[in-house]
Structure formats: C-alpha cells, structure tokens
Copies of this chain bind each other. A is one copy, B any other.
Amino acid sequence: MELMYRIKEDILNNRLPMGVALRQVVLSARYGVSRIPVRDALQALKAEAWLVPHGKAGVMVPKLNLKEAEDLALMRARLETLALEFAFEHIKSTHVDEAYSYLSKLEASDLTLLERGELNWRFHCAVYQACQRPTLMRSIEVLNIQASRYLGFQFGPLGYHNHSQQEHREWLELITCREKAAAVQLLERHIMSAGKCLSEYLKKA
C-alpha cells in the first residue's frame, strides 16, 4: 500500500493538521485517488494509532502528547533491552558492521526527518535482529515508528543528534567487547534519556 506511506510521511512532517477531522474527499483530492483507497489507508492507519476517531465518524491526526511520548520511551526501553539480551550471544561481526554502516550514513547533514528516523531504526535493528524473534521485532518496530512523530523534535530544535551518535558508538564498542550487562544498561539509558529530553521540551511548549 503506497498511499499509506504517503500519508504517514505527511503526518510525520506535520503537513496534515492535528486535532481536526480529515475528510475523505479532501484526502482523495490531495492524493489524486478515489475515496476507496483512501478508506483502505485510513483503516490501517487507525489500527496502528496513526489516526484516532474524531466524533462519531471520521478520523484525525492525534495531537502530540507528553504522556504518550513518555510511554513510548518506557516501552521501548523494556522491549529493546529484552531484544538485546536475547540477541547478545548471537551477534556476529556482520551485524555490527551493518550497524556501523548505518551509523556513518547518519552523519550526513542533508537528511530529512523521515530518513533520519529510518536510519536510526535500521541501526538499532541491525543489532537486535540477531535475537531471531520476529514478533518481538515487529512490536518494537511499531513502537519506533510511532515514536518517530516525536523524534523530529529531538533531531530538530533539541540538537540531540550529536550526543545520540556518541552513545551509538559507545554502544557498539561494548557489544564488540561482549560487555552484555553494560550494553543493556547503556541502551536503557540511551532510550530513556532521549525520552526525558523530549518530555522536558514538550512540557515547555
């Protein structure tokens, strides 16, 4: 479904208004298709919480929300450390190499928010993959995608990017040295501190 991704992009880039009903005819005009594919996409997006009900009929982009951002960070911390624990013994140098390749791609300065979020996920994913647990991985991916609505702030106004890259490097070093406990702990700190940073920002705004 290609349309779904176009709508996701528009949500991530704030090109769709939050908190107001999205009209099917407006969307069908906007994306140049009829209402049927629009409906298909809206149903899927609703199920993944990209959209929420607006009144008795119709959907809207949910407003950014401090508590949701916190919850996503908490859940990611719990589940990603779980994935790392299961992965640890099976992490090969190929996984680490792949992670490094995404890390260097993240150095580029001309990335869109979406590309940055995508690369960030791929980086983590390269390591977690070794856990060989598709259901767990999918859940973590869903959380990351949902979190990416908030991620924009981190890489934008907050300038959290450099600090994050630094932690990523440390993390890969710990993994290479087989320091399991330390790597798990750093990952938890990494996710939670990014979450804290973000919730501080949202409290002010």
Contacts and interface: CB of A to CB of B under 8 A. Distances in A.
A48 interface: yes
A44 B53 CA distance: 14
Main secondary structure of the interface of A (DSSP, over half): helix
Interface stretch (A67-75, A92-100, A165-173): A67-75
A6 interface: no
A67 B135 contact: yes
Interface stretch (A11-19, A35-43, A179-187): A35-43
A79 interface: yes
Given A79-B78, A82-B78, A135 B44 contact: no
Nearest to A1: B43
A25 interface: no
Given A40-B40, A43-B43, A135 B68 contact: yes
Given A36-B39, A43-B47, A71-B136, 17 more contacts: A39-B40, A40-B43, A44-B47, A45-B47, A47-B47, A47-B48, A48-B48, A67-B134, A68-B134, A70-B133, A71-B134, A71-B135, A74-B136, A75-B136, A75-B139, A78-B79, A78-B82
10 contacts: A39-B40, A43-B43, A43-B44, A45-B47, A47-B48, A70-B133, A74-B136, A75-B135, A78-B78, A78-B82
